[in-house]
Amino acid sequence: MRTPIIAGNWKMNKGLSESVAFAHDLAPRLAPFTTVERVVCPTFLALAAVADELKGSNIGVGAQDAHWEAQGAYTSEVSAAMLKGIAQYVIIGHSEVRAYLNETDERVNKKIKAALAYGLKPIVAVGETLEQNEAGQTASWVSGQVRGALDGIDAANMQNIVMAYEPIWAIGTGRNASSEVANHVIGGTIRATLADLYGDSVAQAVRIQYGGSVKPDNMAEFMAQPDIDGALVGGAALKLDDFAKLVEIAAQQKGG
């Protein structure tokens, strides 16, 4: 059975003190739901302090990105090597990084390899634009992103990788993909591509999240789908009650 994983991507929200205070309040709210893996991804600014705050809780911490080089002349970047010992997860290939920071499949691939080398678990985000979706290109695009991201990564590493399907048109828009459609892409495209690359038993073991306007109102529908193993959450992860509710729903429906 795949352990469900709910990750909150705080994006560029919450400063240092607000992040720490939020983590402080969140920990006891999430503590009971031990059958679900729970992760928060603050900004780099707050990452170490949040990790410190959550030490001893069973809540994981993730970065929102990581460079593949260990160190060097890469102004503004933070490396996977630097995150070792602070974060357990790192989001790689988020559509906002792809769109605003010229992220490419090749860079995503290098970042995943570096993250794995430093013992971080990548949460690899893929997803299509509205235009691609309307042109019927979702399957070919998403499958291509999965293949590009995982190029040269062997089956043994797949147990440390989480995939996230985030249709770009559903992110921050309030317009979520229907749970059936999300399940169809996650099972029929992403898991099928993993099966093609690594075989069925590896593909069946990889956790794949849905992301895009996940809220307490629609969480149960997503968690009822067989191929959806959790959620990557933006807006609703910024609110204590909402994020706690998402985790509670995941525990009820998928927590065994």
**Which sequence positions are flagged as catalytic?**
94, 166
**What are the residues whose beta carbons fall under 8 Å from the beta carbon of 119, sequence distance 6 or more?**
84
User: Is 122 among the residues that bind ligand 13P (CB under 6 A)?
Assistant: no
- Residue 94 burial by CB count (10 A; 0-12/13-18/19+): exposed, middle or buried? buried
Q: Is residue 109 at the binding interface for ligand 13P, with CB under 6 A as the rule? A: no
- Give the DSSP letter string of 22-63: HHHHHHHHHTT-TTSEEEEE--HHHHHHHHHHTTTSSEEEEE
User: Residue 93 Cβ, how far from ligand 13P at the closest point, in Å?
Assistant: 11
Query: According to the binding rule CB under 6 A, does residue 62 interact with ligand 13P?
Result: no
Helix axes 105-117, 138-149, angle to 10 degrees: 40
Q: Mask of contacts with ligand 13P, 133-172, x by CB under 6 A? A: ---------------------------------x----xx
For residue 14, the minimal CB distance to ligand 13P (Å) is: 14
Which run of H or of E encompasses 186? Answer: none
Minimum distance, C-beta of residue 156 to ligand 13P, in the bound complex (Å): 27
**181-220 positions binding ligand 13P, by CB under 6 A:** 211-214
Query: To the nearest whole angstrom, how small is the minimum distance from the Cβ of residue 61 to ligand 13P?
Result: 15
Residue with smallest beta-carbon separation from ligand 13P: 234
- Residue whose CB is less far from ligand 13P, 81 or 237: 237
Let me know how many helices (H) and strands (E) the chain has, helices first. 12, 8
Please state, in angstroms and rounded to a whole number, the distance separating the CA atoms of residues 175 and 78. Answer: 32
Backbone Cα Rg of the chain: 17
Interface residues for ligand 13P in 225-244 (CB under 6 A)? Answer: 232-236
Report the interface residues with ligand 13P, using CB under 6 A: 9, 94, 166, 171-172, 211-214, 232-236
